[in-house]
Amino acid sequence: MTPSNDTPTKTAFVTGASRGIGAAIAMRLARDGFVVGVGYRSGEDGAKAVCESIAAEGGRAMPVRVDVTDPESVKDAVAAFVKETGGLDAMVANAGVVENNMAVFTGEEALAAMVETNLSGAFRSAKAAIKPMMRRGGGRIVIISSVAGLMGNPGQAVYSATKAGVIGLAKALARELAPKGILVNVVAPGLIDTGDGGMIEGIPPEHRAAAESLIALGRAGKPEEVSGVVSFLCGADSTYLTGQVVTVDGGMRM
């Protein structure tokens, strides 16, 4: 859905928003008054469905194809969204991939895919947001990490490394961009059940049960329990928060 001329001033771009946590973030930001760019790489139908759901609730959103592994794609996608909506107030770098394997069996292709999507993709998304936000006088960048980046997971050496890397990225950007009024924070979800074939779907039942036994609340989280935190970090009540890592894991890591 293309926003009309009476578009609210708040705008947000979410990468990897065609399903799962990204879709929940896009929906929540729209409910909170943002016009949302629903970024997708291959899930066009999912992105359109998210936009239709937002429109059904009275919000505004537009699907935007973006491949975060391609610098030109990111730059062009953000530029197109800014041209359509008039500016950019929030960027949520959510796009991510995982391939579970022991380090000794992890191939170069899997290594490159995770680094390019999870780490380089987050950098490209943040970079593309800086100039539009400076023209706005400030903004919010939220990068989605994982508890894997804080504690490390066996079978996820590369994934854990990329998710740790985005924390360092966010902290450096937070210091660099604070004088520009741009706040940069990280949300690190724990075990989140998206119910749509997402990242935890391939976990064997016994491994999932073992993981849930470590969670104080005794269960996996829901995408909406992540999206509310992201929305807070993009909103007016987080003006003194930057360079922080907010862990949303039900008490897995305390």
CA distance 169 to 149: 12
Angle formed by the axes of helices 44-56 and 20-31, nearest 10°: 30
Burial class from Cβ neighbours inside 10 Å (0-12, 13-18, 19+) for residue 161 reads middle
Q: Which long-range contacts (CB under 8 A, 24 or more apart) does 197-203 make?
A: 198/19, 198/20, 198/21, 199/20, 199/96, 199/98, 202/100, 203/100
Of the candidates 11, 159, 169, 242, the residue annotated as catalytic is 159
| β-strand partners of 35 | 11
Please, are residues 133 and 180 in contact by the beta-carbon 8 Å criterion?
yes
Known catalytic membership, residue 159: yes
Question: Which residue numbers are catalytic?
Answer: 159
